[in-house]
Amino acid sequence: RVVNTVSRGKQEESFNNALRPESLQECIGQQNVKDKLSIAITAARQRSEPLEHILFYGPPGLGKTTLANIISNEMKANIRVTSGPALTKQGDVMGLLSNISQGDILFIDEIHRLNTVVEEFIYPAMEDFKVDFTVDSGMHAKTINFPLKRFTLIGATTRAGLISAPLRSRFGMLFHLNYYNTRELTLIVKRSAGMLNLDYDEDALSLIASRSRSTPRIANRLLKRVRDYAQVKGSGKLTVDIVESSLKMERIDQYGLDELDRAFLKALITVYDGGPSGIEAVAATLGEERDTLEDVVEPYLLQNGFLRRTKRGREATKKAYDHLGFDSGGLEKK
């Protein structure tokens, strides 16, 4: 029932899809989001109406795509999946919208990356379920008004601030997804381990959970790495020792920080005297995309007290200095 118009071609995607919960009931954590969704879904179904348009925002891997799929299951509606960068012209959107049935869901991942032309084309579709489609150009250009079936648009983005105000105002419900706690991640890893038929010690699973950067996608990814390690270096069973050795090899530390997280903090401390520094400067030093740093790296470091954001820029905290083994002067402690 899922029509995927994005070819990610990534092995991880099929692994993710296999482990995705299919109902709100099965979905772990995000209680407040689930409560509100459950009411909206029940109410819409009682009235036999499609759901309002929904926007999910939050760091990658927290379940935006998962929730969109769950909503389509719960609404017993078809879902069409696409992404902002895949919709480059009006015709791309027309192709999707003209085939849509009453109540169907259109999921647009990375919706902040829609170009202006496409974005403005979508406004009347969201608001009045019609589009003004331009055919031909120049002297022969004409606009055809095209009515659409009532559908639900679900958008996902890493930061709500990246979306223009007119687009944001056309969503009926906005949901911020938060990081998960270790208890929730342990349940997620346990569920995945069960689905993969793994043999494990309970403590091994909570250890994976605690190193997962508070993110379900990373929890599942680490589980996969540990599974391989256990198979090759151990008896196949997931034990605390196996998890420790495997995560050491993956260079995931006791706070769940990975190499990029540490490189970010190290650059801030050694090149910019701990800050304040602009994000562009740190991105240039690391040779990384600014977006990756802002969407993936920074939210976790901020949340965990390794980083401060002030008007003047980013600053490393004492916790960052201590954790990376630098004294307050930025010298590496022996």
Say if CB 305 and CB 257 are below 8 A apart.
no
Residue in 37, 54, 62, 193 binding ligand ADP, rule: CB under 6 A = 62
- Which residue, 237, 262, 242, 236, is CA-closest to 251? 262
Residue 154's identity, in one-letter code, is I
By the rule CB under 6 A, 275 interacts with ligand ADP: no
Query: Residue 155 pairs with which residues in a beta bridge?
Result: 55, 108
Query: Residue 152 pairs with which residues in a beta bridge?
Result: 105
Site size for ligand ADP (CB under 6 A): 20
By the rule CB under 6 A, 34 interacts with ligand ADP: no
Residue in 112, 213, 217, 314 binding ligand ADP, rule: CB under 6 A = 217
Two structure tokens written together for 233:
């270096």
- Radius of gyration of the chain from Cα atoms? 23
Only segment of 17-25, 89-97, 240-248, 280-288 that touches ligand ADP (CB under 6 A): 17-25
By the rule CB under 6 A, 185 interacts with ligand ADP: no
Only segment of 122-130, 215-223, 296-304, 317-325 that touches ligand ADP (CB under 6 A): 215-223
Two structure tokens written together for 97:
């919208």
Q: Please state the residue numbers annotated as binding site for ATP.
A: 19-20, 61, 64-66, 127-129, 170, 180, 217
Active-site annotation holder among 80, 213, 217, 266: 217
Following DSSP, what letter does each residue of 106-125 receive, concatenated? EEEETGGG--HHHHHHHHHH
Angle at the Cα of 27 from the Cα atoms of 193 and 77, rounded to 5 degrees: 120
User: How far is the C-alpha of 294 from the C-alpha of 112, rounded, in Å?
Assistant: 14
Helix (H, G, I), strand (E, B) or coil at 55: strand
By the rule CB under 6 A, 29 interacts with ligand ADP: yes
199 is annotated as an active-site residue: no
Q: Please state the residue numbers annotated as binding site.
A: 19-20, 61, 64-66, 127-129, 170, 180, 217, 290, 309, 314
Residue in 61, 84, 103, 299 binding ligand ADP, rule: CB under 6 A = 61
By the rule CB under 6 A, 21 interacts with ligand ADP: yes
Two structure tokens written together for 226:
């540990």
Which CB, 12 or 322, lies closer to ligand ADP?
12
User: How far is the C-alpha of 48 from the C-alpha of 13, rounded, in Å?
Assistant: 33
Q: How many Å is the maximal CA-CA distance in the chain?
A: 75
Question: Angle between the 216-233 and 182-195 helix axes, to the nearest 10 degrees?
Answer: 50
Helix (H, G, I), strand (E, B) or coil at 175: strand
Q: Please state the residue numbers annotated as binding site for DNA.
A: 290, 309, 314
308 is annotated as an active-site residue: no
Which CB, 51 or 265, lies closer to ligand ADP?
51
Active-site annotation holder among 80, 104, 109, 190: 109
Minimum separation from the CB atom of position 27 to ligand ADP (A): 4
φ, ψ at 273 (rounded to 5°): 50, 30
Residue in 20, 45, 159, 290 binding ligand ADP, rule: CB under 6 A = 20
Which CB, 21 or 274, lies closer to ligand ADP?
21
Task: Quickly tell me which residue has 């004294």 as its tokens.
Answer: 327
User: How far is the C-alpha of 89 from the C-alpha of 73, rounded, in Å?
Assistant: 29
By the rule CB under 6 A, 208 interacts with ligand ADP: no
The distance in angstroms from the start CA to the end CA of the chain is 58
Which CB, 245 or 292, lies closer to ligand ADP?
292
Minimum separation from the CB atom of position 76 to ligand ADP (A): 20
Only segment of 62-70, 131-139, 226-234, 269-277 that touches ligand ADP (CB under 6 A): 62-70
Q: Please state the residue numbers annotated as binding site for Mg(2+).
A: 65
- Which spans of this chain sit near ligand ADP (rule: CB under 6 A)? 16, 19-21, 27-30, 60-66, 156, 188, 216-217, 220
Active site residue ranges: 64-65, 109, 158, 217
